[in-house]
Amino acid sequence: MLAETIAAVRPADPQALADARAHQDRLTKPRGSLGVLEEIAVRLAGAAGVTPPPMPEPAALAIFAADHGVYARGVSPWPQEVTVQMVANFLAGGAVANAFAAQAGASVTVVDVGVAADLPGAPDLVDRKVAYGTADMTQGPAMSADQVLQALEAGIGVARELVAKGARCLITGDMGIANTTASAALISVFTGKDPSEVTGRGTGVDDETYERKIGVVREALRVNALPGAFEAGEALRALAAVGGFEHAAIAGFILGGAAARVPVVLDGVIAGAAALVAAALAPASVDHCVAGHRSAEPGHAAALAHLGLRPLVDLELRLGEGTGGLLAHPTLCAAVRVMHEVATFDSAGVTEKSV
C-alpha cells in the first residue's frame, strides 16, 4: 500500500500552473493584488492538474492520537493521560478543534494510532492502534519498522476513506502529550539543524524542563546514530528512531491525499515534521500541501522553510489538533473561489492599465 501510494504521487502539472497564472492576470484586479492568495490558487491548480482547481470543500479533519515513551524523561508538564482524555473530548465535540471545524464546515475523524490507554464504548473512534505508545527514543528506536509501516498505512487508509466519502480537502490534526519532543528530533534530523534551534516549549515547559528537553532530543539522536547530516533513503529509519505513531500516520495521510490529488492543509509543528518525512519518501507530495499556519514552536518555521512552504495564518497558535489548518481553510476557499467567479477584463468590459 505504501509503495503503491508513493508511486501514485505526481508533481504539479506545469500546464495547469501556467494556465492558472495567465487566468489570474486576466481577472478584474491589478496583477498580483491578491498577493499570496494568487500563489495559493495557482498552487492548487498545479496540484489538481486543472485550472481553475476544484473548490477545496468539503474539508475533512483527521486527528491522529498517540502517546510517546519519551514522556518518561519529563519533557512535558502535562500528565500523559491527557491524550486519552482529549480523545474523549474530541469525540464528545468539546475541543477547540470541534469548534473550529464547525466554523469551517469540516468533518472531524478521530483516529487512535497509539494511545497508551483504551477507550471503551467509543463507537465513533477509528481504532488503528499500533501499540500502547512508542518506546522511549533515548533508549533506542521509538518504533519497529513494522510499526512504522502499520501507522503510515493507517494514515493512507484514512485519507483514502475520507476522499471516497467526498472530502475535497484534507486537514491534518494530532494529539499526543510529549509529541513536540519527537517533532523536534525529526525536524533536527531532516533539516540538519541543531536540537537547540528546533526544540520549543510545547504546551509550556519552564526553563529547566526546556533545557532538559533539548538534551533529551540530542541524546535520542546520538543513541539512534542520527547525526545532523541526514542520509537520503533513511527516512523510514529516522521516523522509526525518533518519530511517533501520529507522525507516521500523518505522513501517510499526506501521501494518501497527494496520491488522490486532494490538497492537504498542514497544521502545526507535528504536521511539519510529518511532512518532512512524506517529502523524503515522495518529494512531489509537497506540491499537494498547503501550510495552514505557523506555530509558535521554533522547529515549525525550520520545517516549513525546508519544505518551501509559506504559512497562511500566523497567530502564535501552539495548540495542535488541526486548529491552525482549520483556521486557514476559509482563506484557501476564498483564493480558489476567485478563480471560479471573478470576471475577466474582457468579460466585464473593464479597461486594462495603459502602461
Ligand X SMILES: O=C(O)c1ccc[n+]([C@@H]2O[C@H](COP(=O)([O-])O)[C@@H](O)[C@H]2O)c1
Ligand Y SMILES: Cc1cc2nc[nH]c2cc1C
Which of 91, 174, 242, 244 binds ligand X (CB under 6 A)? It is 174
Q: Is 146 exposed, middle or buried (0-12, 13-18, 19+ CB in 10 A)?
A: exposed
Stretch that binds ligand Y, among 36-44, 163-171, 287-295, 317-325 (CB under 6 A): 317-325
Grid coordinates in use for 90?
474530541
Pick 157 or 324: Cβ nearer ligand Y: 324
Q: Pick from ligand Y, ligand X, none: which does 268 bind, CB < 5 to 8 A by kind?
A: ligand X
* Grid cell listed for 285: 507530495
Position among 53, 311, 320, 325 found at the interface with ligand Y (CB under 6 A): 320
334: which 3 cell numbers?
476564498
Alpha helices (runs of H) in 192-263, residue ranges in sequence order: 195-198, 207-223, 235-242, 245-259
Near ligand X by CB under 6 A, which window of 7-15, 34-42, 136-144, 265-273?
A: 265-273
**In the complex with ligand Y, which residue's Cβ is closer, 287 or 321?**
321
Strands 289-291 and 264-266, by their bridges, are parallel
Q: Which of 304, 302, 295, 298 is nearest to 322 (CA)?
A: 295
- Cell triple for residue 129? 492502534
Q: Does 82 bind ligand Y (CB under 6 A)?
A: yes
Give yes or no for residue 52 binding ligand X (CB under 6 A).
no
Binds ligand X (CB under 6 A): choice among 203, 230, 284, 345: 203
Q: How is residue 116 written as a grid cell?
A: 497508551
Out of 12, 62, 86, 158, name the contact with ligand Y by CB under 6 A.
Answer: 86
In the residue annotation, 197 being an active-site residue is answered as no
In terms of CB distance, is 319 or 342 closer to ligand X? 319
* Cβ-defined contacts of 101-104 (< 8 Å, 24+): 101/61, 101/322, 101/326, 103/326, 104/59, 104/326, 104/327, 104/329, 104/330
Residue 209 as a binder of ligand Y (CB under 6 A): the answer is no
Residue 112 engages ligand X in binding (rule: CB under 6 A): no
Task: Pick one of ligand Y, ligand X, none as the site partner of residue 210 (Cβ within 5 to 8 A by kind).
Answer: none
Asked if 88 interacts with ligand Y (CB under 6 A), we say no
Instruction: Tell me the number of residues near ligand Y by CB under 6 A.
Output: 8
**CA 78 vs CA 74, 85, 89, 239: distances in Å:** 9, 12, 16, 24
Using rule CB under 6 A, residue 284 touches ligand Y:
no
Q: Are strands 126-127 and 107-114 parallel, antiparallel or unpaired?
A: parallel
Q: Are 249 and 155 in contact (CB under 8 A)?
A: yes
Least Cβ distance, residue 102 to ligand Y (angstroms): 17
With binding defined as CB under 6 A, does residue 61 bind ligand Y?
Answer: no
Q: Does residue 203 touch ligand Y according to CB under 6 A?
A: yes
Least separation in angstroms between residue 80's CB and ligand X is 9
Contacting ligand Y (CB under 6 A), which of 67, 153, 267, 321?
321
Alpha helices in 224-322 (DSSP H): 235-242, 245-259, 269-281, 298-307
What distance in Å separates the CA atoms of residue 159 and residue 165, rounded to the nearest whole number?
Answer: 10
Each residue 165-184 as x (binds ligand Y by CB under 6 A) or -, in order, gives: ----------x---------
Whether the bond between 52 and the residue before it is cis, its omega within 30 degrees of 0, is yes
Phi and psi based region of residue 79 (left: phi greater than 0; alpha: psi -120 to 50; beta: remaining): beta
Q: Is 78 in the site for ligand Y (CB under 6 A)?
A: yes
Which of 303, 290, 301, 299 has its CA nearest to residue 332? 290
Instruction: Write out the residues near ligand Y by the rule CB under 6 A.
Output: 78, 82, 86, 175, 203, 319-321
Instruction: Write out the residues near ligand X by the rule CB under 6 A.
Output: 76, 78, 174-181, 202-203, 267-270, 295, 297, 300, 318-321
Which residues form the catalytic set?
321
